[in-house]
Amino acid sequence: MKNSLLILSFFLLFTNGCNTKKSASITDMATLSVDITSNEEMRLSDYFDDFRMVKLSTDKDYLIGEIQKIQLTNHKIFISDGLSMFVFSETGDFISGFNHVGRGPGEYQKITDFTIVGEDIVILNRSMRKLLKYNSSGMCISEKGLDYWAMKISSPVDSSYMIYCGNESEDEFKLHLTKDGQTVDHFLPVNSVQAKYLHISGPSNFFKYKNTVRFFEVFNDTVYTLINKKIERKYYIDYQGKNIPSSFFDGNYADVFNFFQAVHKTSYAYGIDKFAENDKMILFGSIYQKVQKLTIAYIHNRITQTFATVKDDIYFDSLIIPAEDFNYFADSSIIFPVDAPTVIEWRNKYQPSAKYAKAINETQENDNPVLLIFNLKEQ
């Protein structure tokens, strides 16, 4: 399977996580101690349940490119490959899609990110600095310009959503709380030192948990929560002496590659990515010595386990997936897309489970991806 999340693809804009526009409460912040050197194996059935497989229908008129984001909302699957939007039913039937690439009204150069608001699709286009809202038929119903460079957009809470700008020196803050396309508040001031060299995007920065939004960055050891229109620190990830010290970021780096060359000469760990949460546990990825690990942390007793590989005992018998290749999207469920050539490769090496054998064996090389969907265990 092509590893689309090599080390460079995990690079996100840095924030030191120490300053906010408003004081962030740390009273309820949980410290999670992580042994990032651990190389345990995670068995799927030990930590996940409600397993499903969705074989997306395929037609020449709606072939999906490399998936950039998946969101499972309103009993529909929304997928972006960066240029087009695709909407499928929960069983994989194609419902609708659109491609409005261009420079005119109602058009975008690229789908930088998207979120679902009611039945509408809100698309963020960074290069054109605008938000576009499309109805379920793909018709643009509103367009609003932004006065800042934006990278990610959260799922809505109480008709508001967060927009992440990263370390842009032109903007005073990294997070904007937005309603109806208008900024109503902002948080986390941009650090002028890091803004000189750390300008890289990554796969995700938000996770919606009940009526709150979690916010995280790869070079920030803190997970924040937006609740009641204020931001608070929720979790601190302690890598047991391997966290990058704040002074490290004050170095005189020529550019981001120079910075990462320096990081990779150390034994520091960093993350947070692939974040998901339920009432019992959280799941997230981190990078240590250029290799990604996955960590499960139990919320109530703060016990953590860190894994280097994932063993599939649900879909393909005895398949072992390196954590860096376990490239899922976390939404209301965990969604792990597998491209058709990889499905074929795996079925030739490993025995498909009886429950999913029909869909697996019917997959052809040019088909749209197969989605493996499951949830974090509640019990």
End-to-end CA distance of the chain: 32
Q: Which residues contact 37 (CB under 8 A, 6 or more apart)?
A: 288
pLDDT of residue 246: 92
For the entire predicted model, the pTM comes to 0.91
**Alpha carbons 283 and 306: distance in angstroms, whole number:** 10
Is the sign of the CA dihedral 326, 329, 332, 337 positive or negative? negative
pLDDT of residue 200: 73
CATH of domain 7-376: 2.120.10.30
Q: What's the pLDDT tens digit per position in 320-338? A: 999 999 999 998 899 999 9
Cα angle 273, 84, 88; round to 5: 80
SS3 assignment, position 210: coil
What DSSP designation does 241 have? S
**Alpha carbons 110 and 124: distance in angstroms, whole number:** 8
| Spans in the chain with pLDDT lower than 50 | 1-27
What DSSP designation does 352 have? B
pLDDT of residue 15: 36
**Alpha carbons 293 and 286: distance in angstroms, whole number:** 5
DSSP characters for 35-93?
-TT--EEEEHHHHEEEEEEEE----GGG---S--EEEEETTEEEEE-SS-EEEEETTS-
Q: What's the pLDDT tens digit per position in 7-49? A: 444 433 333 333 334 434 444 789 999 999 999 999 999 999 9
Torsions phi, psi of 18, nearest 5?
Answer: -100, -25
CA distances from 342 to 106, 278, 337, 367 (A): 36, 30, 10, 11
Q: Which of 151, 153, 137, 146 is nearest to 100 (CA)?
A: 137
pLDDT of residue 219: 86
Torsions phi, psi of 167, nearest 5?
Answer: -95, 50
CB 183 within 8 A of CB 176: yes
pLDDT of residue 21: 43
Q: What's the pLDDT tens digit per position in 222-261? A: 999 987 778 999 999 999 999 999 999 999 999 889 998 9
